[in-house]
Structure 1
Amino acid sequence: MLEKIQVQMSVYDKLQILSDAAKYDVACTSSGVDRKGDGTGMGNCRAAGLCHSFSSDGRCICLLKILFTNECIYDCKYCINRSSNDVVRTSFTPEEVCTLTMEFYRRNYIEGLFLSSGILKSPNYTMELIYATLYRLRNVCNFQGYIHVKAIPGTDAQLLERVGFLADRMSVNLELPTAEGLRLLAPHKSRKNILAPMRMVQNRMQENKQEIVLYKNAPRFVPAGQSTQMIIGATPETDYQILNVAESLYQKFGLRRVFYSAFVAVNEDSALPARTGEGPPLLREHRLYQADWLLRFYRFEAKELLDEEHPNFNIFLDPKCNWALKHLEQFPVEVNRADYNMLLRVPGIGVKSAMRIVKARQMGNLKFEDLKNMGVVLKRALYFLTCSGKMMYRTKLDEDYITRNLLNTKERLPDTVSGITYRQLSLFDDVNYTDSGAVQILQA
């Protein structure tokens, strides 16, 4: 039996460990809330969201992104912090998290807090510590900025409710797309325990909306909504299965976002996919995000994009272009007559440009040069559009012909080989701080 060795750590040492341990959690965007400061505290949130910065692999880095603790009683096979791993363990105190958040915010390093955690002793015990942290941050430090917190499955509903009145966004990680995947790789977790807090948050948010109508000064419960995350590639589900799970979550639980995290092999385990030289499935993650966008903003359904005969996305074409090429009977679309929904299905036309087209054509017929000024990507759209009955160039409405030309535009895809690392950007990357210097900053 291994003996635990306890060593006193500085706040900076803990920050190094617990910020690095949080890098695999991608569900941390920070938009969708309107919490204005009252002038007596520090920070505020705008409806348009915070000022985001993104690392090269697409992770949001404008929040202080940390774990409260990397100790965990669970042994999820894919997790670096699983109980059977021999890693350095540490935990913050509520006071330390508050100090870090306030000091980094004052120096304009961050604009909010993303707080997740391993499970220390029990879900309720850990969530009590997180509640104490958020309560101190809001009521003692008077922090009025953005807070995103992870809800731990298995926590009592009353405790989650108390936390939800202090946070702006709450998320419960689905972890893996199917119950079978959870059984194999995360046997301590169950789909029931994960979905229960999702349902509780959804119901309480709906109740809170009615309370706010009746009492304008009523406290707001999770005003930025809830989100979740799925690990992609650790289990053998197809894109079709994953997209149907995401669609169901949007419809049944009213989620703001489903995040897809390409599986990163950090553990050796016979239940996990064998390590290869190809690295994480970043392109697959990229395609799922594109398809997710189509579900949320372009009025597509999962069954339109994939089916059992074609269960995975085209690696060469984005899902919208791929759909259009499989439904050429619906094209070309006359831009001066097509309704808004049909315009959204034209490759190269986005939500904003479709709205501009609908509004502008009330003043007269549009030409291709007008579409370019409205933000339409003509190098894609020209194969699927007519203006006053004419196409931009003489072209064939043929799948092979259009595919070859679309591929010649050299769509910029994530680099799946070079230039990608899975190191979360450190708050100290731009300056060569020494340990003592960092501590001095925190204590300033």
Structure 2
Amino acid sequence: MDEKLARKLRVLADAAKYDASCASSGAPKRKAEKGGLGSTTGAGICHAYTPDGRCVSLLKILLTNYCLYDCAYCVNRRSSNVERARFTVDEVVSLTVNFYKRNYIEGLFLSSGIVRTPDHTMELLIEVAKKLRREHGFRGYIHLKTIPEASPWLVEQAGIWADRLSINVELPTPGSLKMLAPEKNAATIRGAMGQMRERIDEAKEEKRRFSPAGQSTQMIVGADDTRDADVLKTSASLYDGFRLKRVYYSAFSPIPEASAVLPLKAPPLRRENRLYQADWLFRYYGFAVEEIVAGGEGGMLDLSIDPKLAWALKHRERFPVDVNRADREMLLRVPGLGTRAVDKIIRARRHATLRLDDLARLTPGLKRARPFLVVPDHRPTRLLDRADLKARLVPQPTQMELFA
């Protein structure tokens, strides 16, 4: 690789690191045809994971970090004094193909700052995907970051060539977006997400290809004073309204020469982690957002314990749960039991009465679940009443975590 291209790669790979929404979950398994290149199967030296645990390597870059917009929280904003670079379409295509042939990657995540106009930038992103598919027979995963201000026709084109499209909602509330990114519009972003949902739904009905892995978004957390309760309410509305595959939470990272309206310190990374756990609870475990945030104080999640355990400790009157009789919905509320473990329990108890040893074989989370479960050889009534139950269930932080 020549020195000029290597510099561009260094700058634009670093500039892309703030975008968390690059997982390849939901991509269909697809192998190259004869004479083609790439696949979405197998494993590599990578950074993204599919729902079945496959590790998929992605080349994650910006087309350019030049940008017309001046969003206060963005290191690539117009007024930022950062090193700039710009790939040509052919350079991105060449990098993707060469990296794939060297077994470095299995897919591409491509975003960009806005140059000239949103339509012009979107056309360049589409051209990269189109060249990879048409000229190189590339069958690997492609994720394109869609620009909400671009024309609907261009979004339609992007969906033909990409596996997944995403539009960043940026911030949890329209008020925060107006304050920190006045050139962007919450209604425009949601309108583009709605159009994308319509195209995806239409393509499924007509059995044609359009962004088969769906759409996702990213939300910056900690750049404003929005509470976790409102962050999660926004996420729930996005899932319900646009059938998103994922909402990604990205903890705000202080940037050089930052605006005075931004916080001086980054939020605890554990807050980002708790939001992902809470997101999982209302998507897969039957919790309402209001139930989840009630485990903390002032609309914020308790950072010291996961939100499912926080809920259980606040509702000890709902426990212990009889493993052999409880319905699936209640079993899913037991700390330490995941969806797979619950399904295994329900299948197993059809054939035999489960005891503690049986549960140990069905779930790795038995230690955490024991105070909340009843089986013939275990009844934890006194343990549930202990004042120090939280301390007994929550592992002590490591020295590194104390300073995180």
Query: Which TM class, normalised by the smaller chain length?
Result: over 0.9
Aligned with 1:45 (options 40, 43, 52) = 40
Q: 2:29 matched to 1:29?
A: no
Letter in 2 for 1:306: V
**Does 2:75 match 1:75?**
no
1:190 corresponding residue in structure 2: 185
Does 2:7 match 1:13?
Answer: yes
What does residue 85 of structure 1 align with?
A: 80
Inter-CA distance 411–379: structure 2 relative to 1 (3 Å threshold): farther
Is 1:274 matched with 2:283?
no
Q: Percent identity?
A: 46
Structure 1 residues 412 and 321, CA, compared in 2 at 3 Å: closer, same or farther? farther
Farther off after superposition, 98-107 or 397-406: 397-406
Partner of 1:253: 242
Deviations along 1:142-197, one digit per CA (max 9) or x if unpaired, are 10100011001200000110011100011100111001111111111010111111
Task: State the Cα deviation string for residues 278-320 of structure 1 (Å, max 9, x = none).
Answer: x442011111011111122212110111259641111211100
* 1:235 paired residue number: 224
Kindly indicate whether residue 285 of structure 2 is the aligned counterpart of residue 290 of structure 1.
no
User: Residue 104 of structure 1 contacts residue 110 of structure 1 at CA under 8 Å; is this kept in 2?
Assistant: yes
Contact 1:291 1:319 in 2 (8 A): yes
Is residue 369 of structure 1 aligned with residue 364 of structure 2? no
Is residue 150–residue 170 contact of structure 1 (8 Å, CA) maintained in 2? yes
Bigger CA drift: 300-309 or 140-149? 300-309
Q: 1:45 to 1:294 in 2, by over 3 A?
A: same
CA contact (8 A) 1:35 1:145 kept: no
Q: Which has the higher helix share?
A: 2
User: RMSD between aligned alpha carbons?
Assistant: 2.2
How has the CA–CA distance of structure 1 residues 86 and 309 changed in structure 2, closer, same or farther, with 3 Å as cutoff? closer
1:150-169 matches, within 5 Å, as: 150-169=145-164
Q: CA deviation at 1:78?
A: 0.9
Q: Which residue of 1 is the match for residue 57 of structure 2? A: 62
Kindly indicate whether the alpha-carbon contact (under 8 Å) linking 1:31 and 1:50 is maintained by their aligned counterparts in 2.
no
Look up the match of 2:52. Answer: none
Q: Of the two structures, which has the highest relative contact order with CA contacts closer than 8 Å and spacing of 6 or more? A: 1
Q: Which residue of 2 aligns with 1:385?
A: 373
Does the CA-based 8 Å contact 2:47-2:58 persist in structure 1? no
In structure 1, distance between residues paired with 2:127 and 2:108? 15
Q: Letter of the 2:137 partner, please give it.
A: N
Q: What is the DSSP-based 3-state SS (H/G/I as helix, E as strand, rest coil) of the residue aligned with 1:373?
A: helix
Match of 1:329 among 317, 333, 355: 317
Q: Structure 1 length as normaliser, TM-score?
A: 0.84
Aligned to 2:383, the other structure's residue is in SS state: coil
Q: Distance in 1 between matches of 2:117 and 2:386?
A: 56
3-state SS of paired residue (2:247): strand
Deviation at 1:404, TM superposition (A): 2.2
Using the TM superposition, name which of 258-267 and 291-300 deviates more. Answer: 291-300
| Partner secondary structure for residue 120 of structure 1 | coil
Report the number of matched residues.
Answer: 394
Matched, 1:410 2:396: yes
User: How far, CA to CA, are the matches of 1:394 and 1:44 in structure 2?
Assistant: 53
Query: Contact (CA 8 Å) 1:286, 1:414: kept in 2 or not?
Result: no
Quick check: 1:233–1:262 contact (8 Å CA) kept in 2?
yes
Q: Contact (CA 8 Å) 1:282, 1:416: kept in 2 or not?
A: no
Mapped to 1, the partners of 2:196 and 2:386 lie a distance apart of 46
Q: TM-score, normalised by structure 2?
A: 0.92
Unaligned runs of 5+ in 1: 1-7, 213-217, 419-444
- Once the 2 structures are TM-superposed, how far is the Cα of residue 396 of structure 1 from its aligned partner? 2.9
Q: Distance in 2 between matches of 1:327 and 1:26?
A: 34
SS in 2 for 1:165: helix
Rounded Cα–Cα distance in structure 1 between residues aligned with 2:340 and 2:201: 29
Q: Which amino acid aligns with 2:259?
A: D
What letter is aligned with 2:343?
M
